Structure 1
Amino acid sequence: MTKEKIVLAYSGGLDTSITIPWLKDNYDSDIIAVCVDVGQKEDWEAVEKKAIASGAAKFYNPHVFDEFAADFIFPAIAGNVKYQGTYLLGTALARPLIAKKLVEIAHAEGATGICHGCTGKGNDQVRFEMGIAAFDSEMKIIAPWRIWDIKSREDAIDYANLKGVPVTSTKEKIYSEDENLMHISHEGGDIEAPENAVNYANILHITAALEDASNKAEVVTIEFEKGYAVAVNGETLLPYEIVAKLNEIGGKHGIGVLDWIEDRTIGMKSRGIYETPGATILMEAHQRLESLTLTKETIKIKQHISMEYAELIYNGQWYSQANEAIQAFITKTQETVTGSVSLKLYKGNIVPHGLTSPYALFDQDVSGFGEDDLFTHHDAQGYINVITLPTKIQKRKGLI
């Protein structure tokens, strides 16, 4: 009799490593391990060997970092998305693409369920399951952290040792880390408590701590076409190449490190440390270019939309009518966001260094202190009379 199949979202980390033997103990099914390459640096052969050695019947490794950059990171940059005005959503943006690939493989394999290793306290359980539902609303979901008796990462390490599953996490260094092309996040251990100061040099992987950052400033120039970056320092590159290049440049200057208290989807606060050097540079450059090429009214509306867009992505609603509508709006706003932006990088700082666009709305003649044919200093008198009229009426009636 042919066994049923379960597709496991596999990373090779602590949680998903122990999930394979747990699934085999609790379900009479073959486990299909799927590790989606969204740009994390891995020895893929070693990851596959570990999955098979842990009990997986099969291993898939779809490489979609290029799709991740072009269809998820770049639209987010164009939308200026920052959750709670701060977090660039590196993890949240990758989850819907991973969910899409999990469903595709589950369908190809005839699997009856998809399993993920997200904890019951985290955001990713929502993001994965929202993404899976968008492609297969009937797919069975298995979430071990909501079922098993393991209550902590310390318990998980004990279980791994019991089952002979090798893991790199230790009870002394028990951080939970998520890496993709856009960022690396760090949570858990001594990071959890807001009162704890941490040694960034011991935590960061792709970004230099400020003490170790380059002592020499560097200027980077990014060219955009319709809101999307197309070249760095005069070299035309694909989206994923641009992110990787800027990660390298920004990383050595300590750019894009965020130590932050965030409000999770399910209601609790948590502390995380994020490394996002390349996307931080892209976001700064893009917003600066928009300041030159968009009208005041467009910027104001887009700021509001960007806040809602970030919330939507954070909560796992990438595949939604609202997202499609927002992206249509953003695409329209980006028609004139073309030009070149230069930024100086130094010890975690990003400083403006030059900005040009064929669609620039800045006019030297109008904005300068001299006279020109569109505006004279006398024109301001009538404008001020109009905007101060309500204040004058209130004062006359003794209301202020």
Structure 2
Amino acid sequence: MANDVNKVVLAYSGGLDTSVILKWLEETYGCEVVTFTADIGQGEEVEPARAKAQALGVKEIYIEDLREEFARDFVFPMFRANTVYEGEYLLGTSIARPLIAKRLVEIAHETGADAVSHGATGKGNDQVRFELGAYALKPGIRVIAPWREWDLNSREKLLAYAEKHGIPVEMKRGTRSPYSMDANLLHISYEGNQLEDPWFEAEEDMWRWTVSPEAAPDRPQYLEIRFENGDPVAIDDEPLSPASLLSRLNQVGGAHGIGRLDLVENRYVGMKSRGCYETPGGSILLRAHRAIESITLDREAAHLKDELMPRYASLIYNGYWWSPERRMLQALIDASQAHVNGVVRLKLYKGNVTVVGRKSEADTLFDAHIATFEDDAGAYDQKDAEGFIKLNALRLRIGARRGR
């Protein structure tokens, strides 16, 4: 292959796949490789990737803690929209990819690299997300996707390549993790192996973040989340940074069996895929955010948000975070959050999140004086409803007279 690439920035985990990719890039393109490893809350140490990259001769190594940026600039803006894909998925993997793409492009600029590379396969959504992000942020960048170029399309071939090139592999030949997993501060996902049969029920010991609802405590736990401009800022009156708050909710939610999900989703590339997810903190936040909006958002503004949300969710799922249409929607969503301030009280019990209270001293639109079933002292004239109903029934009455 002609050497038209001098330096590549590789999204590097230190695992088998990306270690093989590192060597393959050097061998195939004759180029220098810069590694980038991000801590976005996956729960594993990222520093060992530095030693692995050094052992493979890498000179420029980036190890970065992006947890706060991830929660603040990606997860929280998404939750302002109450975003759910296909009615269930909280987009834990999808929302991490634009941040990684952003840093890949920035590091390419800093190091003078003319290409970026990732370890996503040619069957999945992540290749689309990484590359759409890279092209949106740096139109002239070259993207190298080894899984679409090489013939190392099995674990045995990867292990053989690693052995041939002296790439250290920490697990013995013939062993494998039962599932393909992806984790970050928002969720952990499981795919592959027996989960490829949509009738198969995942084993209890697969789940890592949550106890089963049956094994959860027999007493409920109450907590309060305070929101400012649509973002959660404190739990039980304790101010927390975005990453710390989400981490705390993951811990408490997981202890009560909250956030498990088993679904078959429609991938952007065309196939259906079955996966299992744990999103304890996100499940709590979604319920809480909708609750505070219920008393602070105007009815039509709330309904408009609900109408736009599926489109917004699809944009994130399909990799269009950096697109003009997502930015336009985000501006509208963010504008709607100016008065979404207050506190929500929740009860966590056996896998369930129940809203049991909500209040907003300055911004509530709920007026008990008007809504009461008791005497409202003239705040609402019930006789006005008659004309309201007749006007709204006019088209129905005309249609009925015509037999329609």
Q: CA deviation at 1:112?
A: 2.3
Q: CA RMSD in A?
A: 1.9
* 8 A contact 2:137–2:322 mirrored in 1: no
Letter in 2 for 1:357: S
Aligned to 2:66: 64
In structure 2, C-alpha distance between the alignment counterparts of 1:166 and 1:342, rounded to whole Å: 48
**Correspondent of 1:181 among 185, 194, 203:** 185
Identity %: 44
The CA deviation at 1:168 is: 4.9
Which secondary structure state, in structure 1, belongs to the residue aligned with residue 218 of structure 2?
Answer: coil
Q: Deviations over 1:257-312 (max 9, x none)?
A: 11111111111110111111111111110011111111221111101111111111
Equivalents in 2 of 1:156, 1:188: separation in Å? Answer: 18
Relative distance call for 1:234 and 1:273 in structure 2 (3 A) is same
In the alignment, is the contact (CA less than 8 A) between 1:33 and 1:58 conserved in 2? yes
Query: By how many angstroms is 1:377 displaced?
Result: 2.9
Please say if residues 17 and 167 of structure 1, whose CA atoms lie closer than 8 Å, have aligned partners that are also in contact.
no
Alpha-carbon distance, 1:138 to partner: 1.3
Output one character per residue of 1:211-246: Cα deviation in whole Å (capped at 9) or x when no partner.
Answer: 332332111110001101110011011111111111
Change (3 A) 1:216 1:54: farther
Q: 111, 114, 121: which is aligned to 2:113?
A: 111
* Corresponding residue of 2:132: 130
Q: What is the TM-score of this pair, normalised by structure 2?
A: 0.93
Which AA in structure 2 matches 1:302? K
Match of 1:43 in 2: 45
Secondary structure class of the residue paired with 1:36:
strand
Rounded Cα–Cα distance in structure 1 between residues aligned with 2:387 and 2:175: 71
1:379 equivalent to 2:384? Answer yes
Find out whether 1:388 has 2:390 as its counterpart.
no
Cα distance per residue 1:136-187 (max 9 Å; x no partner): 2111111010011122345434544554431559655342111111111111
**243-252 or 55-64, which moves further after superposition?**
55-64
Which segment is superposed worse, 40-49 or 79-88?
Answer: 40-49
Distance 1:184 1:46, change over 3 A: same
Q: Secondary structure at the match of 1:6?
A: strand
Segment drifting more, 7-16 vs 159-168:
159-168
Q: Secondary structure at the match of 1:336?
A: coil
Name 2:269's counterpart in structure 1: 266
User: Does the CA contact (< 8 Å) of 2:36 and 2:104 recur in 1?
Assistant: yes
Aligned equivalents of 1:215, 1:157: Cα separation in 2: 47
Gaps of 5+ in 2: none
Cα displacement (A) at 1:13: 3.1
- Structure 1 match to 2:370: 366
Contact 1:4–1:29 (Cα < 8 Å) also in 2: yes
Aligned length: 396
CA distance in 2, matches of 1:184, 1:232: 23
- How much does 1:376 deviate? 3.0
SS of residue paired to 2:50:
helix
Find the aligned partners of 2:285 and 2:164 in 1 and give their Cα distance.
Answer: 46
Say which is worse superposed, 48-57 or 210-219, in terms of deviation: 48-57
Would the alpha carbon gap of residues 317 and 269 (structure 1) be closer, same or farther in structure 2, given more than 3 Å must change?
Answer: same
| SS of structure 1 residue aligned to 2:353 | strand
Task: Tell me, yes or no, if structure 1 residue 196 matches structure 2 residue 214.
Answer: no
Cα distance change of structure 1 residues 174 and 57 upon mapping to structure 2, 3 Å threshold: farther
Q: Please show how residues 300-319 of structure 1 align to structure 2 within 5 Å.
A: 300-319=303-322
Write the mapping of 1:111-260 to structure 2, written as runs, cut at 5 A. Answer: 111-153=113-155, 155-163=157-165, 164-168=167-171, 171-199=175-203, 201-260=204-263
1:23 Cα deviation (Å)?
2.0
Give me the whole-angstrom Cα distance separating, in 1, the residues matched to 2:29 and 2:235: 50
Instruction: Tell whether the 8 Å contact from 2:14 to 2:48 is kept in structure 1 after alignment.
Output: no
SS of the aligned residue for 1:122 comes to coil
> Normalization by structure 1: what TM-score?
0.93
CA–CA distance in 1 between the matches of 2:43 and 2:370?
Answer: 51
Task: Note the residue ranges of structure 1 that are not aligned, 5 or more in a row.
Answer: none
- The structural deviation recorded for 1:104 is 1.5
